Amino acid sequence: MSIFKGAGVAIVTPFNQDGSVNYEELDRLIEFQIANETDAIIICGTTGEASTLSHEEHLDVIARCVKTVNHRVPVIAGTGSNSTETAIYLSKGAEEAGADAVLLVTPYYNKATQKGLYQHFAKTAEAINIPCILYNVPSRTGCNIQPETAVALAKDVKNIVAIKEASGDISQIAKLAYLADGCIDIYSGNDDQITPVLALGGIGVISVLSNVAPKQTHDIVMSYLNGDPATSTKMQLEAFPLIKALFSEVNPIPVKKAMNLMGYAAGSLRLPLTEMEDANAAKLEAEMKKYGIL
């Protein structure tokens, strides 16, 4: 059974003015998401600035999300690391906190071989009992999960059940879908490729766009899955300018700006990320107005 179908939000982590985690605002963001038909909450991912959270903060944020969601939608915790030992530690902590699944990013900087990737993901998954989603984002990690490796992991490790594919390479995703033949669920990791990935047999998206447009992103997926690809395609293309604005600087710089523009106290970013450039912020605000969310 799939962890979820539809649009899961890669939710931001809001910070107070002193840089600490704003747990009350996190609750508010989660309620906004659930009220607007988000199908899953992905906490402490790239968009959640997990790389600048301490291990204690990381697990506290996961636990708070689990408590606030209270089983209304699945909670998927980002617990990947470039250290297998750390990935196991965080994954065990997420399981203990009540997360429904974990999201395991490809080890960054190390640039492991495919054999190394296999062993890293297998050892991490085998240390826990909840489902695991592989996360392939070579533009950020310098490391690409080849389709053959993902399929081997899905066939050999019982709780590796899905992959977030953010390579941007549609041919690679097509090869993955062909080789997998249904043995692994595929989620788009890029908001500008939701409908194309669904056309290749994907079942949803793990989305940055969902932070600001949860209902619309849900509808892009569900209209396709419910037999209306024309509507899905139309909505995908209508969102294209906003998506480009949300990635005009490195994620999550623009989306945190967008959440602040919407009246949420998302706060600033932790270094080395800095505030959005004024020209890009103006373009983002303009696209949000055109899209009808401001």
User: Is the pLDDT assigned to residue 246 strictly greater than 90?
Assistant: yes
Joined tokens for residue 62: 């996961």
- Catalytic: 135? yes
Inside any domain, residue 233? no
> What single-letter amino acid sits at 266?
A
d(CA 99, CA 41): 10
User: Is the pLDDT assigned to residue 1 strictly greater than 90?
Assistant: no
d(CA 280, CA 6): 30
Give the pLDDT mean for 182-193. Answer: 98
Residues 6+ away with beta carbon under 8 Å from 6 = 37, 38, 39, 40, 204, 218, 221, 222, 225
The burial of 197, by beta-carbon neighbours within 10 Å (0-12 exposed, 13-18 middle, 19 or more buried), is given as buried
> What single-letter amino acid sits at 279?
A
Looking at the structure of the chain, the number of domains it has is 1
Give the pLDDT mean for 260-265. Answer: 98
* CATH code at position 89: 3.20.20.70
| pLDDT > 90 fraction of the chain, expressed in percent and rounded | 99
CB 74 within 8 A of CB 100: yes
Give the pLDDT mean for 233-257. Answer: 98
Taking only the tens place, the pLDDT of each residue in 100-145 is 999 999 999 999 999 999 999 999 999 999 999 999 999 999 999 9
Inside any domain, residue 186? yes
What is the value of pTM for the model shown?
A: 0.97
Helix (H, G, I), strand (E, B) or coil at 17: coil
Distance of CA 293 to the CA centre of its chain: 21
Inside any domain, residue 61? yes
Taking only the tens place, the pLDDT of each residue in 6-54 is 999 999 999 999 999 999 999 999 999 999 999 999 999 999 999 999 9
pLDDT at site 18: 96
Render the burial of 199-208: b for 16+ CB within 10 Å, e for the rest. bbbbbbbbbb
d(CA 293, CA 37): 16
With cut-offs at 50, 70 and 90, classify the pLDDT of residue 291: very high
For 127-239, where are the alpha helices, taking DSSP H only? Answer: 138-141, 147-156, 170-180, 194-199, 214-225, 229-238
Residues 6+ away with beta carbon under 8 Å from 272 = none
The one catalytic residue among 67, 115, 158, 164: 164
| 110: containing domain | 6-228
Helix (H, G, I), strand (E, B) or coil at 134: strand
Rg of the chain over Cα atoms, rounded to whole angstroms, equals 18
The one catalytic residue among 89, 118, 135, 224: 135
Inside any domain, residue 65? yes
pLDDT at site 271: 96
> What single-letter amino acid sits at 172?
Q
Inside any domain, residue 277? no
Quote the mean pLDDT of the chain. 97
Taking only the tens place, the pLDDT of each residue in 218-227 is 999 999 999 9
d(CA 255, CA 266): 9
pLDDT at site 280: 98
Nearest to 209 by CA among 173, 227, 236: 236
Give the pLDDT mean for 145-168. Answer: 98
CB 11 within 8 A of CB 42: yes
Q: Most distant CA pair in the chain: distance in Å? A: 49
pLDDT at site 42: 98
d(CA 43, CA 175): 29
Inside any domain, residue 257? no
pLDDT at site 79: 98
